[in-house]
């Protein structure tokens, strides 16, 4: 819970240390104090939970064992094959439809198929394609389609994920691990923790879809299958 006991800002994890086969914690939670503050792991932003008796650790404070890291990728010597910016945006509600969360104003919808989609991906792409146009104007709000990115074997794909929603969001890849090269945070009031502005190192167009990272540098050495993108990050 956060300091306001908001149940939405809550996550749990079980850490397995070394080769220990025991996955359930066996120790009791200790009391946090200013002399011995507790550390909150994987905070979505620096002010989350921080206080006199706790310390917030973001992904910038964590590292994956070097044996599992791609050294060339981290050194920026790897040629990126595909680059995409993904904006977490809200499609506004209209009289005809409710508002919904989207990526680049597109919401995933699976086409009706007579076979599993993984067996006929080309058919799926052709049956319900996306226009890839910004669909967030007063006359056209959002687009529901089978959104996809086609990559070849051994392609290196880089995603710049920008969160324009007012809530944090987890990002997960099924069956894959990915390198997190940088985590950008929104600008918050240091006293109140209230949102002030988005991550200053990301610049997007007026539609909040085409984004690029400026003054960016690798600040994270993590391999994960899930990450939290904070609001404005």
- Confidence at 1, pLDDT banded by 50, 70, 90: very low
pLDDT given for residue 172 in this prediction: 86
The predicted-structure confidence for 70-118, as pLDDT tens digits, reads as follows: 888 877 778 889 999 999 888 888 777 788 888 888 888 888 888 888 8
The predicted-structure confidence for 124-145, as pLDDT tens digits, reads as follows: 889 988 887 776 666 667 888 8
pTM: 0.77
Structural contact between residues 224 and 233, judged by C-beta atoms closer than 8 angstroms: no
Could you give the CA distance from residue 96 to residue 50 in angstroms, rounded to a whole number? Answer: 43
Residue 230 in this model has a pLDDT that exceeds 60: yes
User: Which residue in the block uniquely carries the two structure tokens 């109140």?
Assistant: 192
CA angle 153, 159, 164 (to 5 degrees): 150
Mean pLDDT of 41-45: 69
What are the helix (H) ranges across the chain? 71-74, 121-127
pLDDT given for residue 21 in this prediction: 65
Give the CA count within 13 Å in the CB-facing half-sphere of 17. 3
The predicted-structure confidence for 50-66, as pLDDT tens digits, reads as follows: 667 888 887 778 888 88
Mean pLDDT of 202-224: 85
Mean pLDDT score across all residues of the chain? 80
pLDDT given for residue 94 in this prediction: 79
More confident residue, 1 or 232: 232
User: The tokens of 14 are what?
Assistant: 């079980």
The predicted-structure confidence for 154-180, as pLDDT tens digits, reads as follows: 899 999 999 988 888 888 888 888 988
- Confidence at 24, pLDDT banded by 50, 70, 90: low
pLDDT given for residue 79 in this prediction: 87
Structural contact between residues 195 and 186, judged by C-beta atoms closer than 8 angstroms: yes
Please count the residues of the chain.
Answer: 233
Mean pLDDT of 202-216: 86
């Amino acid at each position: 819970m956060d300091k306001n006991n908001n149940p939405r800002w809550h996550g749990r994890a079980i850490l397995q240390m070394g080769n220990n086969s025991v996955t359930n914690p066996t120790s009791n939670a200790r009391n946090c104090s200013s002399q011995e503050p507790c550390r909150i792991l994987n905070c979505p932003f620096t002010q989350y939970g921080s206080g006199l008796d706790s310390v917030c650790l973001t992904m910038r404070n964590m590292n994956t064992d070097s044996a599992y890291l791609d050294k060339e990728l981290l050194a920026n010597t790897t040629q990126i094959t595909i680059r995409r910016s993904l904006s977490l945006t809200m499609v506004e509600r209209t009289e005809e439809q409710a508002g919904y969360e989207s990526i680049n104003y597109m919401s995933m919808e699976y086409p009706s198929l007579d076979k599993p989609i993984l067996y006929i991906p080309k058919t799926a792409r052709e049956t319900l394609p996306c226009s890839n146009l910004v669909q967030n104007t007063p006359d056209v709000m959002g687009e529901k389609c089978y959104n996809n990115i086609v990559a070849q074997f051994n392609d290196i794909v880089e995603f710049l994920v920008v969160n324009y929603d007012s809530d944090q969001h987890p990002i997960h890849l099924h069956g894959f691990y990915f390198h997190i090269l940088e985590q950008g945070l929104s600008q918050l009031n240091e006293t109140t923790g209230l949102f002030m502005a988005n991550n200053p190192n990301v610049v997007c167009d007026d539609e909040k879809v085409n984004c690029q990272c400026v003054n960016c540098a690798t600040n994270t050495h993590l391999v994960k299958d899930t990450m939290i993108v904070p609001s404005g990050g």
